[in-house]
Amino acid sequence: MSKTISVTSQTAGNAFSYDIVITNGFRELSSLLEPVLESGRKAAIISDSNVFGIYGDEIKNLLAEKEIPCFSFVFPAGEESKNLDIVQDVYEFLIKNRFERRDVCIALGGGVVGDLTGFVAATYLRGIAFVQIPTSLLAQTDSSIGGKTGVDFRRFKNMVGAFHQPSLCFMNMNTLQTLDKRQFLSGLGEIIKAALIKDKAFYEWIKNNSEGIMSLKETVLEEMIYRACLIKREVVQNDPKEAGERALLNFGHTLGHAIERCAGFSLFHGECVVLGMIAALYISNQRGDISDAEYEDVYGLFERFGYTMKVTGLSKADITDTAKSDKKAEAGIVKFILLQDIGNAVIKKDVTQQEMEKALDIILE
């Protein structure tokens, strides 16, 4: 059982092509690595302390069977590691092991590993190839696709980075079995987001398959990851450098990010995005775009999945101020993604302070 999606761009100066493979084991990985790791090339597995302990040996053994020289670098799990210090440690590790331009980095882990490894690969020797083996739901459906790489700088998230496309994106769905449930839900938040902005039929499918999703039923997971990747691919192919359409992926993120920061990162990103989506849906409803029934339908779905529907202890003014100072806000003008209908999003720059405050009343206690 496996599905493949090709990601390609013909844009002059930025052409690329690679496959996303969604499957239920690591079996197919070695043959897929062959074109990337031609004879004589070395591989560096870069992973975090959680993921490497579970899946590191399996990947190392696969490479050993193919007689590919393999080195591994493991850093402490968590967003705190996504910084330039760890990047420098990886550079040093690559230099010590004489990695050259034709050698390859393999990112084995969630979005933190993928973003950091991608950035190392984008910059080491002005760019070497890298392979994504995403193991979290968020990484499998979002962060590993599209070539956005980078790290946090001091207190600024994703402030330093580069566009660098992987040579292969290999997803073993079985890895989700060891992923924490709350992390799974956080990733699912972004999948529901993708459906809401682009694909009403997928939204309905998620509603009808919510039990299979939560019980990690293999056929359901495969279909869900496949459809989420198709949406991400479409957006990325149409807008590889985030000049326009890709901004729609920020649905729920304007207030979601602000809540994430104001709550001191005690809530997961996807949980905050869900809260941000509820607020954005409320504004869309108040503007007469989304009907009451549609608003309630989506709200009910989030509730059934067990998301946090309200946060306590945060101030409205702090959240709106934070949203206005976000790096994506232009001259203090907040860019909002609203829904015209389910499956149809638009960018709006005229959302008022009052509208934001009313929407925050829904999600603040």
Residue for token digits 């910084």? 83
Nearer to ligand NAD, 72 or 136 (CB): 136
In degrees, to the nearest 5, what angle opens at C-alpha 85 toward C-alphas 82 and 91?
100
Min separation Cβ 55 and ligand NAD, Å: 7
Min separation Cβ 286 and ligand NAD, Å: 28
Nearer to ligand NAD, 54 or 309 (CB): 54
Alpha-carbon dihedral sign for residues 264, 267, 268, 269 = negative
Both tokens of 332, joined, read 């203090």
Nearer to ligand NAD, 52 or 282 (CB): 52
Q: Rounded to whole angstroms, what are the CA distances from 211 to 157, 176, 206, 207, 308?
A: 34, 16, 9, 9, 18
Residues in contact with ligand NAD by CB under 6 A are 48, 50-51, 54, 77-79, 82, 109-113, 115, 135-136, 138-139, 142-143, 146, 148, 158, 175, 178-179, 183
Both tokens of 357, joined, read 């405050």
Min separation Cβ 332 and ligand NAD, Å: 24
Nearer to ligand NAD, 250 or 320 (CB): 250
**Contact by Cβ (8 Å): 37, 43:** yes
Q: Residue 50 phi/psi, 5° resolution?
A: -80, -55
**From CA 237, how far away is CA 59, in angstroms rounded?**
30
Min separation Cβ 224 and ligand NAD, Å: 16
Residue for token digits 């029934």? 293
Min separation Cβ 42 and ligand NAD, Å: 24
Min separation Cβ 135 and ligand NAD, Å: 4
Residue for token digits 């992923």? 179
Min separation Cβ 95 and ligand NAD, Å: 25
Q: Residue 362 phi/psi, 5° resolution?
A: -70, -35
Nearer to ligand NAD, 86 or 360 (CB): 86
Nearer to ligand NAD, 163 or 299 (CB): 163
Nearer to ligand NAD, 50 or 284 (CB): 50
Min separation Cβ 228 and ligand NAD, Å: 12
Nearer to ligand NAD, 52 or 295 (CB): 52
Nearer to ligand NAD, 51 or 225 (CB): 51
First-last CA distance in the chain: 46
Both tokens of 312, joined, read 């306590």
Nearer to ligand NAD, 270 or 342 (CB): 270
Which residues are paired to 148 by β-bridges? 163
**Contact by Cβ (8 Å): 341, 298:** no
Min separation Cβ 251 and ligand NAD, Å: 13
- Residue 150, phi-psi category: left (phi > 0), alpha (psi -120 to 50), beta (remainder): left
Q: Residue ranges of the alpha helices (H) in the chain?
A: 29-33, 49-65, 84-96, 111-123, 137-138, 181-198, 200-208, 210-214, 218-238, 253-262, 269-286, 292-305, 316-324, 353-363
Min separation Cβ 291 and ligand NAD, Å: 30
